[in-house]
């Protein structure tokens, strides 16, 4: 027990000092999803399907792919303004999934606009898993 | 003789100034990161203070997008925009919600652009300044830099 305390302290210190990694961000969502659904396991495959799903709530942005292209490894373009968008996948853009607040903010905006509702912790877990693993 | 030179210099400087809208040096990081994720960070001088206040008060319905930011960031960005806003008399009314493209100044500057260019897939939207003004994000809107050849006249 006593030996675990320095390890936990070290972990907390490293969380506070460094940009969070995709794995840490995934853990945040998985913990939330698990609390709603025991035994939940994230799936990159489900995340991939979610990325491609046509929600058709928004004429200009019926799916994630409307702005982010058919591959998260590609640079995209805002469907309305034409503004360039850097790739979503960590393999193509190491800045992705490094700031939990930023990830949560964009899930908030894009889920509302494209999916038409807030995304569930399970969907976020799958999506983050997909983006951190896709090559 | 010196005075004539000065007048000539001023005269040549003004048209250039009209197309230069440099970003104020004190722009907070939040302004750049929040406002330029979906479009260029439009220079504060493009709207008058009152219109920026209206725009910032309606970020949850920002031209079809939810662009809300936390309270502290909202105050920081609003203060910056107000401090550096453009002149009400030069810009004219921007409508409600305020649109840069609805200001009298924007309309006057673009009145010779045929509709088909606004619909051009390279342009997409009047919000996409950089489609024609490659230096737009840096505040350069000179007519000599228009990147669509057919529009460079």
Determine how many CB atoms are found less than 10 A away from the CB of residue B70.
12
Least confident of A15-19, A26-30, B48-52, B77-81: A15-19
Average pLDDT over residues B57-82: 94
CB-based contact A81 B64, cutoff 8 Å: no
Measure A61 CA to nearest chain B CA, in Å.
11
Residue A76 dihedral angles phi and psi, to the nearest 5°: -110, -170
**Residue A91, min C-alpha distance to chain B (Å):** 21
Name the pLDDT band for B4 (thresholds 50, 70, 90). low
Q: Are A54 and A62 in contact (CB under 8 A)?
A: yes
Specify the pLDDT at position B64. 85
pLDDT at B150: 76
What pLDDT is attached to residue B148? 83
B29 to chain A nearest CA, in Å? 14
pLDDT value at residue B3: 60
pLDDT at B15: 46
Q: Which candidate, B90, B113, B115, places its Cα nearest to that of B103?
A: B90
B143 has a pLDDT exceeding 70: yes
| Amino acid A33: pLDDT | 98
B16 has pLDDT over 60 = no
- Chain A residues in contact with B125 by the CB 8 A cut-off are 80-82
Could you say which of A81, A108, A109 has the minimum Cβ distance to residue B128? A81
CA-CA-CA-CA dihedral for A57, B118, B40, A131, to nearest 10 = 40
CA–CA gap between residue A68 and residue A11 (Å, rounded): 34
CA distance A1 to chain B (A): 40
pLDDT of residue B124: 86
> What pLDDT is recorded for position A90?
98
Q: Report, as an integer, the average pLDDT of B48-58.
A: 97
Instruction: Identify the residue among A58, A76, A77, A81 best suited for mutation to test binding to B, counting B beta carbons within 10 A and taking the highest.
Output: A81
CA distance linking residue B40 with residue B32, whole number of Å? 9
List Cβ neighbours of B57 (8 Å cut-off, separation of 6 or more). Answer: none
Residue with tokens 């460079």: B152
List, for residues A76-110, the tens digit of each pLDDT value.
Answer: 999 999 899 999 999 999 999 999 999 999 999 99
pLDDT value of position B68: 92
On the question of pLDDT at B10 being above 80, the answer is no
Q: For residue B33, give the chain A residue with the closest CA.
A: A102
Using the predicted structure, report yes or no on whether residue B11 has a pLDDT greater than 50.
no
Residue B89 has a pLDDT of 95
Testing the interface with A: which of B33, B72, B123, B128 to mutate, by most A Cβ within 10 A?
Answer: B128
The residues, any chain, with a CB within 8 Å of residue B53's CB and separated by 6 or more, are B78, B82
Tens digit of pLDDT for each residue in B115-129? 988 988 889 889 999
- Chain B residue closest to A78 (CA)? B38
- CA-nearest of A77, A128, A121, A69 to A98 is A128
Torsion of CA B95, B97, B101, B106, to 10 degrees: 40
Which residue of chain A has the CA closest to B35? A83
Provide the pLDDT confidence category of residue A3 given band limits of 50, 70 and 90.
low
Name the most confidently modeled range: A119-128, B10-19, B111-120.
A119-128
| Nearest-neighbour CA in chain A from B101: distance (Å) | 13
Cβ <8 Å between B127 and A108: no
Residue of B38, B66, B131 lying closest to A112 (CB–CB): B66
Cα–Cα distance, A38 to A44 (Å, whole number): 19
**In whole angstroms, what is the distance from residue B111 CA to residue A88 CA?**
38
Residues B39 and B55: their CA atoms lie apart, in Å, by 15
pLDDT band of residue B6 (cuts 50, 70, 90) is low
Q: pLDDT tens, A6-65?
A: 555 555 555 554 568 999 999 999 999 999 999 999 999 999 999 999 999 999 999 999
Residue A12 has what pLDDT?
Answer: 52
| Closest chain B residue by Cα to residue A60 | B64
The span from the CA of B81 to the CA of B68, in Å, is 16
Q: Is the pLDDT of residue B35 over 90?
A: yes
Taking residues B88-112, report their average pLDDT.
95
% helix, strand, coil for chain A, step of 5? 55, 5, 45
Which residues of A sit within 8 Å Cβ distance of B?
58, 60, 78, 80-83, 108-109, 112-113
Q: Find how far residue B16's CA is from the centre of its chain.
A: 16
The first and second tokens of residue B54, run together, are: 């209206």
What's the pLDDT score for residue B129?
94
| Mean pLDDT (whole number) for B86-99 | 95
């Amino acid at each position: 027990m006593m030996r675990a305390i320095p390890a936990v302290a070290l972990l907390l210190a490293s969380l506070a000092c460094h940009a969070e990694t995709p794995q840490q961000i995934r853990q945040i969502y998985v913990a939330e999803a698990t609390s709603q659904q025991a035994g939940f396991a994230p799936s990159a495959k489900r995340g991939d399907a979610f990325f491609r799903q046509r929600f058709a709530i928004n004429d200009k942005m019926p799916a994630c792919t409307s702005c982010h292209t058919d591959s998260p490894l590609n640079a995209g373009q805002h469907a309305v303004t034409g503004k360039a968008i850097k790739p979503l996948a960590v393999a193509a853009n190491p800045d992705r999934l490094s700031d939990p607040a930023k990830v949560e903010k964009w899930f908030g905006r894009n889920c509302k606009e494209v999916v038409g509702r807030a995304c569930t912790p399970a969907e976020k877990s799958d999506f983050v898993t997909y983006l951190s693993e896709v090559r | 003789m010196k005075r004539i030179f000065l007048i000539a210099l001023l005269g040549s400087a003004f048209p250039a100034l009209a197309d230069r809208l440099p970003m104020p040096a004190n722009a907070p990081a939040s302004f750049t990161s929040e406002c330029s994720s979906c479009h260029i960070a439009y220079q504060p001088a493009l709207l008058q203070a009152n219109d920026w206040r209206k725009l910032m008060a309606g970020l949850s319905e920002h031209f079809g997008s939810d662009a809300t930011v936390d309270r502290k960031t909202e105050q920081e960005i609003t203060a910056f925009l107000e401090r550096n806003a453009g002149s009400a008399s030069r810009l004219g009314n921007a409508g409600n919600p305020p649109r840069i493209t609805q200001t009298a100044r924007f309309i006057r500057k673009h009145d010779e652009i045929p509709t088909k260019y606004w619909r051009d897939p390279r342009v997409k939207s009047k919000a996409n300044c950089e489609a024609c003004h490659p230096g737009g994000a840096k505040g350069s809107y000179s007519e000599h830099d228009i990147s669509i050849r057919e529009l460079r006249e």
